[in-house]
Every structure is written in C-alpha cells, then in structure tokens.
Amino acid sequence: MKKLLALMLAGVMLACSLAGCGAASETPAPSNAGSTEKQTVESSTPASTASEATGEFDWKKFDGEEITVLFSEHTYADAVEEKLSEFTEKTGIKVNYSSMPEGNYFEKLNVELSSHSGSIDVFMTGAYQSWEYATAGNLEPLENFINTDLTSPEWKYDDFIPAVIDALKWDLVPGHAVGSGSQWALPMGWEVNILTYNKKILADHGINPPKTAEELLEAAKALKEFDGSGTYGLAVRGLPDWGTIHPAYMSMYSTWGAKDFEIENGKLVSKVNSPEAVAMTEYWVDLVKNGSAPQWSTYGWEMCGADLGAGKAAMMWDADRGGYTQNTPGSSNEAGNMAFGMVPYPTSAGKTEADMKSNLWVWSMAMNADSAKKEAAWYFMQYFTSPEFMLWSGVEKACTDTPRTSVLEDPAYAESVAGAEGYYEAFSTISKNASIFFTAQPYFTETTTEWAKTLQYLVTTDKYSSVQEAMDELKATMDELVSDLEVE
Amino acid sequence: MAAKKKSNEKSDLNKVPFSTRVRPYMIVAPSLIITIGIMVPFAMAIWYSLTNYSFKLPNHKFIGIQNWVNMLGDASFWGAVKISVLYGTISTVIEMLLGLGVAILLNNLNNGLSKVLRVLLVFPLMIAPVTATIVWQLMLNSSVGIVEKLLNIFGVYNFPWAAAPGTAMMTVILIDVWINTAFIILLVLAGLQSLPKSPFESAKIDGGSAWFNFINLTLPMLKPSLYIALLFRFMAALQEYAIIFALTKGGPGDSLMSLSLTAYQKGFKFQKFGAAIPYILVLWLIINIAAKRIVNRQRAAQKQAAGLEE
C-alpha cells in the first residue's frame, strides 16, 4: 500500500511538474511589431470610415471596452486618476485603475509583464526600465498607433519636447544611443536633476548659492552640523540601487566628461575606471563623506526631500520635483525658502557653464504587448498625454516638468510655477542640456546596483585603498555582467 | 442460464464492494492532495534552477547545473550564507536568553504589574515587521531620532547604525530582538505555568536554593518548550527578509545581503529566476538541517522531562 501510494505521488508530481513546465515554456512569444501592425490596420478601417462620415475623431469607437491600468503613486498618476470618469464619459471605455508606492512598483510590474497574461493594458515606466521591457518583448511599439486614424489630430506628436520623446525611442541594439528606433512609451512628465537650496539657511551662514563643483563642496563642508548634530549640507541618495546613480551622481559624472560604457570591437566596455570617472568619483566620495547625511547609505529620494523640507539639509541635489514639492505652501517646515540652482560644474576639470549636463528621468506610459485591448489602451494613452490634459495637470495639479512645448510656453503654466525662485529659469536652461547619459542596455538595473554598492563601500568603509582600485574592480564586474551582449 | 446467473451472484457476494475498496484511498486523498500541492512548486523550483528562466526571455531552456556552478563560484553567495547564518544565530540566541529571563521574572512576579507587563510585552508582535522597522529607522535617525538624542547625553554623536557596514548587522538584530523576544516570552511563560508544582515543593522542603531549583528542576522540565521556541524563531530568523529590506535593502555594499535578499534581488530586480532559485534552495537546505536537529533534541528533552529517559 505504502509503495503504491509513493508511486502514485511520484507519478502525479512528475506529471504536474512536466505539465507546468511545458505550459511555461510554451508561453507565446510577445507579439512583434508586424503582427500588431496588421491588427491595427485592420481594425482602423472602420474608424476611418466613421471619421470620414462625421468629419470628427470618433472617441466612442471602443465604447463598452474595459482596460486595466497599473501606475506608480505619483503626482502625475494622481492627475490621471482625477480625470478617469471624464475619460470614461467621453469614450465609454471603463478603466480598472490601481496604483502602488514606487518602492516595489517595478518588481510588481516585472511579475505581471513576465506572465504574458495581458493582465495589465497600460502601465507607468521609466526610460531605463523600458530598455529591459522592450528587449524582453513586453512593450508594444507605439508607432503602430501614432500616425493612424486611431489618433486624434489634436493630439500632436510633434509638440513633445524632442529630448524627452526621444529618450523613449530605442532601436534595441545595446550600446546604441536612444532617439532612434521604435517609440516604446509616451512621456507623462520628466525630471531634471538640479541643485535645490534653502536660501534662508545659506544666507544665515553667509554662503552664496554654489555654481561650481568646488563651491558646492566648500559650502557642503561649511554647513556640516550647521544647526546641531544630524544637520548637514547636501542631501543626495545613497541606497544600493540605480536610484543612487541616476540623479546627481550621473549628472556630475557626465558634466565631468565621463562615460559609463563605450563600444569596442562589437562589445560594450565599461569606462568607470577612466581618469575622468575616477576624478569625479573621488570628488563625490569627499562630498558625501564630509557634506552629506550621516546615514547617507540608507537615503532614498523620500528621505532627501524630507530632510530638505524639515530644514535638516541645507541643499539637495536630486530631481527638481523633489525640491519643488517641498516648497509649495504648507507642504513642509521650510516651504517658501527653497530656490533652485543648476548643475554645479567642475572648474578644476576645465568645465564651464556650457558643459552642464543633467541626466533626465521620464515618467512615462507604455502599453503591454500582450494586451488584448490595444486600441482602447491607445485611446487611454492619447487622452492622458494630450496637450489639453497636460496643460490642466501642469497648471492645476502641480504636474510641473511638462513634456509638451505648448504647455511650457503657456503663460498660465509659467505663472503657476513662478512661486519657486529660479525654478522656471533652471528648468528651461537645463532642459536644453538634459538627456539620458546612460548607455542603453538591458542590464541597466544590475550594472547600476553594483555601481551604487561600490560608492557605498567607498564612503562607509576602508575596503579599498583608493577610488581607482574600487573603480577598476567595478569595471571588471560591469564588463562581466554585459559580456553576453552583442553590439552591431 | 440460471446456473450462470447463480454463479455471478455468488462471485458478486465474494467481491468486496467498490466503496469499501476505495475507502483507504479516499481517506488518504486529502493529505495526498495537500502533499502534492506542497511538492509541485518545490519540484518546479528544482526544475527552474536548471534552466535559464528569466523575465527577459520569451522562453527558457534547460542549461544543466550552470546556475548552481555560477552560484558556488560566486563570492557573494558565500557571503550571503555567512550573513544568513550569523543573523539567524545571533538574533535567536539573544531572543532566547532575553525571553527566558523575562518569562521567569514575570512568572515569579505574579502580581498586578506582571499582568500589565504581559500584555504590554506582546505589543511588538502585533506590529508588522516592516512597520516596526520604519519606526526604528525614525528613532535611529541622526537628526530627528530619539535614540540619537539619548546617545548625545553620553557624548556619542552621529552613531551610524544601519548606515555603516560595521554596525548594520547589529542594528537589524536589535530590531529583530525588539519584535520577536515577545514570541519567546509567550511560549516560555506558557511552559513555566504548565510545570508540575510538586517537585518545587519537595525542593523547598529540602532547602534547595533558587539557582539549584532552576538548574535541576525548571530548566530540564522547560526544555521541550524552549526547543519549540528555538525551532520557530531560528527557522524564521534564517529566512528574515522584511527588516533588512525595509532598513537598508541589503546595504551598505553587500553587508546585509542574506540568502533571502540575494534571491529576491536576482529574481525580481534583475529578473533572472533560474539564477535566483538555487539561493532559496540552499536556504531551505540549511533550515531543514537545523530544524531536524532541533526536533530530535526536543524529542529527547521531552522524554527526559517525562522521566522516561535519563
């Protein structure tokens, strides 16, 4: 009896696991651009007839459909949520909307997308993440919709700021710059990484707002414990993930003239141990050790913003939005005291104001390649990236850092951000020098995590005798991580 | 014809009815289904550890023991094993000692205060570990934290806590102890209250000291309860994820990258499931070996406490 049971158990286990594995490996490959195009063209025929007949864009074409949207909790997402009922009223498309905190948003999204179940139709993403998702075939190329009858003439693709819309295009070849290839997502808002400072604290201590890297270091050191234990000069991120590298560090790294990767003999080769990269990192370690939070290595953007708002940090170098939201009336202790600087440039490395570079971040909307309701999903995307919606959210809902030229140039928008000293000037200036300075490649999360860990070791331990030694080791690790990528 | 029918009836009578024949199978069916439910994901995990299963690839293929070889050759794996075992052992030992001490005090102090304390001491168990960690993070913050203000009185400023590799482990263990000591107290207290009174009365008559009573009576009789507490705590501590993740995400550097965190990072952040699963299987193996040893000792202790074995 025992033997029989054991046999049965083993048999069932084997059958189940084989069935399970079989099912998993038979997961259909995500739809490619070609097949989707076909689908779109076919379904767009009645649309053209309808619009030809009425002469107007047919917003009701997908009346009665239902789509699912997953967003990260953010000001941009809040604005969308507020207008959901208006969208449903206009189009007849029902939206199942859910959002979750940024901390674990991408992990949740990874699981949903990888199941290829099409459980989510539209989701929020960033440019870096879209490199990984597009490579995995999770993203629907949007050119299939942009120039078709499914797009309202009022939507205006050309109105997007070129640097921002281009950041979401890529040809899927590792090492190739963004800006060509398919359009993988549409921008909701973007962020440049600039210096925000508390003008009151700086004035009280007789310090001028720093313009150069040297002035920043001096100011940050001078402001150490400016108001007792735990207060400090400059808030920057320090957790062991990509979030630590992409804002201030990458902006200064690029301003200094350093590169993350270069293509050599058809391979991506890490350049984090180049003389510029090492000089910049030496500066950075000094800046963090002597001018940043005592518990820097546990700091994400929330803690940086909170310290700035509480008056514990005199300056912050992070996303402009982070400083902006601490400055709106009633939002923090120090609201109203913030002013905005630019990107501090290293004169010691011969750089001038013209060399300022800000690494940018784009919160964007993308479509799941496995979605079964792509047309309805596209209606959602175009509605919530339209000039009309973006002007409303920019002016009324504090969705600053607009990706649309028409909104940026609108007097109502300029007036709405006028309360933040230097913000409009900084944003308009830096946006001309802002781009994604990372090399597009599908191992972005891994390479930047290793990078952030190296910075943590440099700041908090004596593990390495020099920055050069640490960066040499990091280079070897990064080279190993991307070793299987073939660059054409 | 009639004879044939008769013989049929006869064989029917000899035959065990269908319902009787399937009865044994029906009885074991629920536990069999549950066992399969547990074993299938486990078997699939082993299978996936032999593939290049990744969120980034549309399909996966069998790659043999490549993931295992990579893991064993990776210095960070051995670091993760060390961190998991160190964290599990130190936090469990401290919690056991502290829990035992507090439980004995509460048991001896049988008055109104002890009743209030019994309720209060359980509070940390009712808070989700992530929430407790965030509260501790604020308390340990160098600018607004209450602990920092206390340390300032003693002339200590800007103690790094979780921000430096040298003190990070101590900090997460401190939080673990704060949350989980209550669990040990509860179990040990229940054990203490179920002990028979007569041996203690005899010892009292014979004039045994408190220490003599503790070593020769309380401890041997309490051992089964202590092993149960140890088993649950040690298993959970080896797997600990929430506190470390909420506090430092495994940093600074790799200083808190335990097996659970490494597996999570590889699986969910880097989207390489095939490479992540061996880490979890190794963790399972460590827990399994530890649990087996503790259970054996618990059984022996139980026999000893019942006077069946010296």
Asked if the C-beta of B249 comes within 8 angstroms of chain A's C-beta atoms, the answer is yes
Structural contact between residues A237 and A295, judged by C-beta atoms closer than 8 angstroms: no
Q: Which two tokens stand for residue B16?
A: 């065990």
Could you tell me which residues come within 8 angstroms of residue A18 by beta carbon, excluding any fewer than 6 positions away?
Answer: none
Please tell me whether the peptide bond between B252 and the residue prior to it is cis, using omega within 30 degrees of 0: yes
- CA A44/CA A35 separation, integer angstroms: 14
Q: Which residues contact residue A144 at a Cβ distance below 8 angstroms, ignoring those fewer than 6 apart?
A: A33, A36, A37, A40
CB-based contact B249 A460, cutoff 8 Å: no
Nearest residue to A87 (alpha-carbon basis) of A97, A100, A99: A97
Contact by Cβ (8 Å): A47, A153:
no
B chain contacts of residue A17, beta-carbon cutoff 8 Å: 40, 43-44, 47
| Inter-chain touch A132–B58, beta carbons under 8 Å | no
pLDDT at B116 over 60: yes
Q: What are B76's two structure tokens?
A: 């960070």
> Any idea what the CATH number is for the domain that residue A380 is in?
3.40.190.10
Please check whether residue B70 touches A, CB under 8 A. Answer: no
Evaluated on CA atoms A51, A57, A63, A68, the torsion sign reads positive
B160–A114 CB contact, under 8 Å: no
Distance CA B38, CA B43 (A): 9
Q: Where along chain B do its domains lie?
A: 66-305
Domain boundary among A431, A455, A471: A431
Task: With beta carbons under 8 A apart, name residues in chain A contacting B271.
Answer: 110, 114, 132, 136
Distance from CA of A232 to the nearest CA of B (A): 9
- Domain membership of residue A345 as a residue range: 192-359+435-481
Whether A11 is covered by a domain: the verdict is no
Asked if B177 and B95 count as a contact pair (C-beta separation under 8 A), the reply is yes
**In the numeric block, which tokens belong to residue A72?**
């990260």
Q: Which CATH class is domain B66-305?
A: mainly alpha
- CA-nearest of A356, A128, A360, A361 to A257 is A356
With CA atoms as reference, report the closest residue to A165 among A405, A486, A420, A440: A405
Residue in the block written with tokens 């414990």: A225
Q: Calculate the dihedral angle through the C-alpha atoms of B111, B112, B117, B122, rounding to the nearest 10 degrees.
A: 100
- Are A371 and A355 found together in one domain? no
Check whether residue A146 and residue A64 sit in a common domain: yes
Question: Does the beta carbon of B254 lie under 8 angstroms from any beta carbon of chain A?
Answer: yes
Contact A460 B160 (CB under 8 A): yes
CA–CA min distance B5, chain A (Å):
34
User: Is residue A199 located within the same domain as residue A309?
Assistant: yes
Compute CA A124 distance to the chain's CA centroid, rounded to the nearest angstrom: 10
CB contact under 8 A, A24 and B32: no
Nearest to B249 among A116, A241, A460 (CB): A241
Instruction: Say which residues have a Cβ less than 8 Å from residue B130's Cβ, sequence separation at least 6.
Output: B242, B243, B245, B246
Q: Is residue A488 part of a domain?
A: no
A303 domain residue, yes or no: yes
Answer yes or no: are the C-beta atoms of A441 and A482 closer than 8 Å: yes
- Check CB contact of B30 with chain A, cutoff 8 Å: no
pLDDT confidence of residue A401: 86
CB contact under 8 A, A310 and B254: no
* Minimal-distance CA residue of chain A relative to B32: A9
Partner residue facing A230 (CB), from B148, B268, B269: B148
A105 and A87 in a common domain: yes
Compute the nearest-CA separation of B282 from chain A (Å): 21
User: Which H or E run includes A466?
Assistant: none
pLDDT at B11: 60
Separation CA B185–CA B106 (nearest Å): 9
Task: Give the nearest partner residue to A296 out of B143, B145, B163, using CB atoms.
Answer: B163
Task: Please give the DSSP secondary-structure letter assigned to residue A102.
Answer: G
CB-based contact B248 A8, cutoff 8 Å: no
Cβ neighbours of A203 (radius 10 Å): 12
Q: Which of B58, B186, B34 is nearest to B122 (CA)?
A: B186
- How far apart CA A190 and CA A184 sit, in angstroms, is 16
* Tokens, residue B291: 């649990």
Q: Quote the tokens at residue A204.
A: 């009280």
Identify which of A12, A229, A461 has the shortest CB distance to residue B36: A12
Higher pLDDT, A258 or B205: A258
Closest-CA residue of B relative to A32 is B58
Chain B CB contacts of A443 under 8 Å are: 270
Is B62 in a helix, a strand, or coil? Answer: strand
- Average pLDDT per block of 10 residues along chain A, 488 residues long: 47 41 36 37 38 69 95 91 95 94 84 88 92 90 92 93 91 88 94 93 96 96 91 95 94 96 92 97 97 93 92 94 88 92 94 92 94 95 96 89 90 86 84 88 92 96 95 96 85
Q: For position A169, what pLDDT does the model report? A: 93
Residue listed under structure tokens 């994604």: A436
- Spatial distance between the Cα atoms of A224 and B152, rounded to a whole number of angstroms: 17
* Angle subtended by helix axes A275-291 and A213-222, to nearest 10: 20
For tokens 């041997």, name the residue: B220
Closest residue of B to A12, CA-based? B36
Nearest to B251 among A135, A137, A297 (CB): A297
Best B38, B48, B143 member to test A by mutation, with max A CBs in 10 Å, is B143
Of A9, A116, A456, the CB nearest to B36: A9
CA atoms within 13 Å, Cβ hemisphere of A460 = 30
B143 contacts in chain A (CB < 8 Å): 229-232, 293, 307, 310, 312
- The pLDDT of B278-302, averaged and rounded, is 95
**Which residue, A323, A359, A360, is CA-closest to A341?**
A323
Candidates A13, A294, A449; nearest CB to B163: A294
Domain contains A102: yes
What backbone phi and psi angles, to 5 degrees, belong to A142? -85, -10
Mutate to test the interface with B, among A295, A301, A447 (most CBs of B within 10 A): A295
Q: What is the pLDDT of residue A329?
A: 86
- Cβ neighbours of B269 in A, within 8 Å: 106-107, 110, 241, 445, 449
Least confident of A148-152, A354-358, B75-79, B113-117: B113-117
CB contact under 8 A, B163 and A21: no
Distance between A46 CA and the closest CA of chain B, angstroms: 33
Nearest CA in chain A to B56: A136
Secondary structure class of A98 (helix, strand, coil): strand
- Which tokens go with A36? 């989707």
CB pairs under 8 A between A and B: 148
For B308, which DSSP code? S
Give the position of tokens 């109104």. B112
ipTM: 0.81
Per-residue pLDDT at A203: 96
Q: Do B142 and A239 touch (CB under 8 A)?
A: no
Work out how many domains chain A is built from and give that number.
2
Cβ–Cβ under 8 Å, residues A69 and A122? yes
Q: Which of B36, B54, B55 to mutate to test the interface with A (most CBs of A within 10 A)?
A: B55
Do A325 and A385 sit in the same domain of this protein? no
- Which chain A residue's Cα is nearest to B58? A29
Which tokens in the block code for residue A316? 């912050």
Those residues whose C-beta lies under 8 Å from the C-beta of residue A392, and which sit 6 or more positions away, are: A79, A83
- Closest chain A residue to B271 measured between Cα atoms? A110
A443: its two tokens: 């191992």
Query: In terms of domains, do A256 and A135 share one?
Result: no
What confidence tens digit (pLDDT) does each residue in B225-270 have? 999 999 999 999 999 999 999 999 998 999 999 999 999 999 988 8
Residues facing A97 on adjacent strands: A69
Cα–Cα dist A281/A277, whole Å:
6
Q: Helices in A331-443 by DSSP H: which ranges?
A: 374-383, 387-396, 405-408, 411-416, 423-430
Residue A298 is nearest to which of B44, B148, B162, comparing CB atoms? B162
Which pair of structure tokens corresponds to residue B15?
A: 């035959």
Q: What is the DSSP code string of A23-55?
A: HHHTPPPPPPHHHHHHHHHHHHHHHHHHHHHHS
For residue A25, the chain B residues in CB contact (below 8 A) are: 59-61
| Mutation site for A-interface testing, chosen from B28, B56, B167 by largest number of A Cβ within 10 Å | B56
Whether A342 and A272 map to the same domain: the answer is: yes
DSSP B17: P
User: In chain B, what percentage of residues exceed pLDDT 90?
Assistant: 60
* B252 lies within 8 A of chain A by CB: yes
Looking at residue B233, its pLDDT comes to 95
CA distance B163 to chain A (A): 5
Asked whether residue A409 falls in the same domain as residue A448, the answer is no
Stretch (H or E) spanning B11: helix B2-14
Are the C-beta atoms of residues A154 and A303 closer than 8 Å to each other? no
A234, two tokens = 């400059």
Q: Does B162 reach chain A within 8 Å, measured CB to CB?
A: yes
Does residue B158 sit at the A interface (CB-CB below 8 Å)? yes
Q: What per-residue confidence (pLDDT) applies to A23?
A: 36
Give the model's pLDDT for residue B108.
86
> Is A147 part of any domain?
yes
A454 Cα to chain B: minimum distance (Å): 7
The C-alpha angle B224, B226, B230, rounded to 5 degrees, equals 120
Task: Looking at the complex, report in whole angstroms how far the Cα of residue A39 sits from the nearest Cα belonging to chain B.
Answer: 21
Binned at pLDDT 50, 70 and 90, residue B8 comes out as low
SS (HEC) of A139-181: ECCCHHHHCCCCCCCCCCHHHECHHHHHCCEECCCCCCCCCCC
What does the radius of gyration of chain A's CA atoms come to, in whole angstroms?
Answer: 25
User: Looking at residue B101, what is its pLDDT?
Assistant: 94
| Contacts B35 to A, Cβ<8 Å | 9
Exposed e or buried b per residue across A416-430, where buried means at least 16 C-beta atoms within 10 angstroms of its C-beta: bbeebbbbbebbebb
> Strand, coil or helix: what is B155?
coil
Q: Which residue type sits at A338?
A: M
Minimal Cα–Cα distance from B154 to chain A, Å?
A: 14
Tell me: do A303 and A408 sit in the same domain: no
Residues of chain A neighbouring B158 (CB-CB closer than 8 A)? 229-230, 294
| B164: contact with A, CB 8 A cutoff | yes
